Chains A and B, each alone.
Chain A
Amino acid sequence: MTIRDKHADAVVVGSGAGGGVVAKELSEAGLKVVLLERGGWAHYAAHGDDELTAQRSFPLEAFFGPDNERYRRVAVDRQGNERVVLPNDWAYQNNAACVGSGTVSYGAMAWRFMREDFTMRSTYGDIAGSTLADWPISYDELEPHYEKAEWEIGVAGDDDQNPFAPPRKKPHPMPPFPHTEESKVLEKAAKTLGYHPFPIPMLRNSVPYDNRPACVHVRNCVGFACPVDAKNGTQNTVIPKAIATGNCELRIHAQVTHVLMNDSGKATGVRYIDKEDQEHIQSADIIVLSASATETPRLLLNSRNRLHPHGIGNRYDWVGRNLQGHAYCGADGLFGEELFNRDGPGATIAIADFVHNNPGITGGAVLCNEFIKLPYAYSSGFRPPGSKSWGRAHKEFQKRNYMRNVSIRGPVQEVPNFESRVEVSDSVRDYWEMPVARISGFKLDEDIKTARFIADKAQKWLEAAGATEVWQSIPGTGVSGSQHQSGTCRMGDDPQTSVTDRYGRVHDVDNLFIADGSLHVTNGGFNPVLTIMALGYRVSEYIVKEWQAGNRF
């Protein structure tokens, strides 16, 4: 028997970066909100410091979800071979599944995209094989929402030290984190090269903020929950605030399977299955999908109906297209002395000199020093090409170099392409008998060219800092997604080449909105989360304004 839950003004699917923000904004404005999350709460006490199940590389399982029992995806390689993959397989392209999603365990870098990140097409022109486009909105339109995200969720930083930072009205609410020993060496070197180093803005408390303490600099930060709750995600900021309004009900272990629609083309609610395998229908006037750039298009594609035979919002076949992450690249160096960061999480210094305006290059990336390398991760990566991966020489390398290794990495902005995509599988189903996401695609040569350019800059930086041996890390040509997945329901003014309008409203369906990484037209030369949060504020602002003007959609 299907349980019909009490009607809500709005239902939000997914409590991650985008969904958490929307739940708070709508419930504060007085709407009755139901927030549905497939995962549960993920606390430090239940997980601790276990690298093998942490969210960075999860070799055994992803503690912050999803689990290996009920979830599957299909990964397609460049030759077209299909493989069924579990969430802790890299090819699954996992982010997380819990209250707060990736924002519980993230590294918490808090970037605003630059002006050019919103105008990639007019800045760089037509790129062969790419669907590159400008965003329908400018940096200036998103600026107030960035500011709100920084103050409500909490960011420590100082843009005055970054001459490439886009204009802002208010400074960051907390002072920046100090540099570590390693970062001081890098800072000096960057300056001698004429670069402009500055402290990485972080969604982490440098001083007590919003009734939570300052960071205690543990080593196990990125990939883990914070032991003192000094890392700011949606699970310890906007979501508790939403619940405190009395207008928002969070339901965990609620797996949404369909968006429901009526014959006149309005969305009526969602179908979900609870922990006891009980089916529910949650009806609502407004439906907001914030299930991530893989799961939001999957939901739309799995919700076929008479008016939308190819999936909701998919009249022109754009749902699931343009999947992007970042073409991560950089360089690693070995130093004569031990520069190891005992102060976690380690990444503190960045340069934005090469995000744009690189002659002959499309886009670029911010460059940062890497977070502390965890022991298991260090056993496989971070060594010169051709190094022994086991045996006596491997162990000697570990002993000799762990403390002397410094890495620089940059998230190269990918130019989107139509063939990198999320579809739904026609043969593989999950525990709830729903077709799973099928992920296929590739990076364009243009991305690899940019990555080589950026890796060269990273190498020069390490050499100037005194590294005795330096080597580059260049990404492969496979599709990316994972933690930085985005782009699969891009916003735009033309319904024939985008999925939502400039407010995140699905073109065909007046009361169906998207607020997550899917909206990104391009993914910036930076980590994406602050932009996703800012979009959450923007989409909410629009909904609230309409609602208060009497629009019941």
Chain B
Amino acid sequence: MDNRAEGMERFSRRQFLKVSAIWAGGTWVIGMPALQGKSFTVLSEQEAVIMDALADTIIPPDEEYVGGREAMVTRFLDQQLGRYGYLQREKERYHTCLPALNRSSLNRFGELFTELDEEARTAHLTEIEAGLHDSGALENGWGEYSPSAFFRLVRDHCMMGFYGSPQHGGNKHFVSFRMLGLT
């Protein structure tokens, strides 16, 4: 087992404890963390956790339907950024911007983005969307990329992963089609 896969194992167990029990439709069900048994090809373990947090903020889970994370939006993205994916050209942008985004909440909240609750994550992304983090982006680790433009891109990719065909790695169990009443 290489280091990466080992990391994934550890992550999975930790993640499992956090999310395994979900209140769904009146019963407790044992949920699977999005990444269980799934090693990614482009995104690192840490990047995947950040991406999961983004996906669940952009499309939050509710009592009826899972959110972006469990719909496997991160798997969709990893697949598209990879060698055979359609979004290879965005790979570097994700590698640079995901960690920068995770740290960008430290100033205001004193915590990493992944450690915030949904309300705080929403408030923080609203700021980024509005362009409040665009000046000084370079010093804050965003490289040549604009935080607000990155947010627009991630939002769009989350919608693709959640609402697009499962053949691309997301929309697990056709969740969005069921949610819209299409199946």
Contact = CB atoms under 8 A, between A and B. Distances in A.
Interface in A375-425: 375-376, 378-380, 389-392, 394-395, 398-399, 402-403
B57 interface: yes
Nearest to A220: B165
A376 B62 contact: no
Contacts of A171: none
A61 B85 CA distance: 10
Contacts of B159: 376, 379-380
B57 A391 contact: yes
B122 A375 contact: no
B181 interface: yes
B121 to A, nearest CB: 9
B86 interface: yes
B165 A398 contact: no
Interface stretch (A45-53, A199-207, A288-296, A324-332): A45-53
Interface in B135-183: 155-156, 158-160, 162-165, 167-168, 176-177, 179-182
Contacts of A340: 181
Contact of A399 (B158, B163, B168, B179): B179
A390 B86 contact: no
Interface in B107-144: 118, 122, 125
B165 A60 contact: no
Given A49-B165, A50-B164, A61 B62 contact: no
A545 B107 CA distance: 78
A60 B167 contact: no
A395 B168 contact: no
A376 B60 contact: no
A392 B177 contact: no
B176 A375 contact: yes
B91 to A, nearest CB: 15
B180 A398 contact: yes
B167 A50 contact: yes
B180 A375 contact: yes
A392 B64 CA distance: 13
Contacts of B67: 395
Interface in A350-390: 375-376, 378-380, 389-390
Given A49-B165, A375-B176, A391 B80 contact: no
Contacts of B80: 60
A106 B67 CA distance: 33
B59 interface: yes
Contact of B163 (A68, A219, A376): A376
Contact-size category for B: 20 to 34
A260 B158 CA distance: 49
Contacts of A219: 182
Nearest to B119: A392
Contacts of B125: 390-391
Interface in B60-93: 60, 62, 64-65, 67, 80, 86-87
Contact of A390 (B155, B160, B168): B155
Q: B interface, by DSSP: helix, strand, loop or mixed?
A: helix
A60 B58 contact: no
A292 B168 CA distance: 31
A375 B58 contact: no
Nearest to B171: A375
A273 to B, nearest CB: 25
A53 B168 CA distance: 10
Interface string B14-55: 000000000000000000000000000000000000000000
B177 A375 contact: yes
Contacts of A52: 160, 164-165, 168
A402 B59 contact: no
A144 interface: no
Interface string A8-52: 000000000000000000000000000000000000000001111
Nearest to A396: B62
A375 B182 contact: yes
Contact of B180 (A49, A60, A394, A403): A403
Contacts of B168: 50, 52, 60
A59 interface: yes
Contacts of A399: 64-65, 179-180
A39 to B, nearest CB: 18
A338 B165 CA distance: 24
A378 B86 CA distance: 21
A59 B160 contact: yes
Nearest to A340: B181
Nearest to B118: A392
Contacts of B158: 390
Contacts of B118: 392
B54 to A, nearest CB: 10
21 contacts: A50-B165, A50-B168, A51-B164, A53-B86, A60-B86, A60-B160, A219-B182, A375-B176, A375-B177, A379-B159, A380-B159, A389-B155, A390-B158, A391-B57, A391-B58, A391-B60, A395-B60, A395-B62, A398-B179, A399-B180, A403-B180
Nearest first, the 7 A-B pairs at minimum CB distance are: A60-B86, A375-B163, A379-B159, A376-B163, A52-B164, A390-B58, A402-B180
Interface of B: 57-60, 62, 64-65, 67, 80, 86-87, 118, 122, 125, 155-156, 158-160, 162-165, 167-168, 176-177, 179-182
Given A376-B159, A391-B57, A399-B65, 19 more contacts: A49-B165, A50-B165, A52-B160, A52-B164, A52-B165, A60-B80, A60-B86, A338-B181, A376-B160, A379-B162, A380-B156, A389-B155, A390-B59, A392-B122, A394-B59, A395-B59, A395-B67, A402-B181, A403-B180
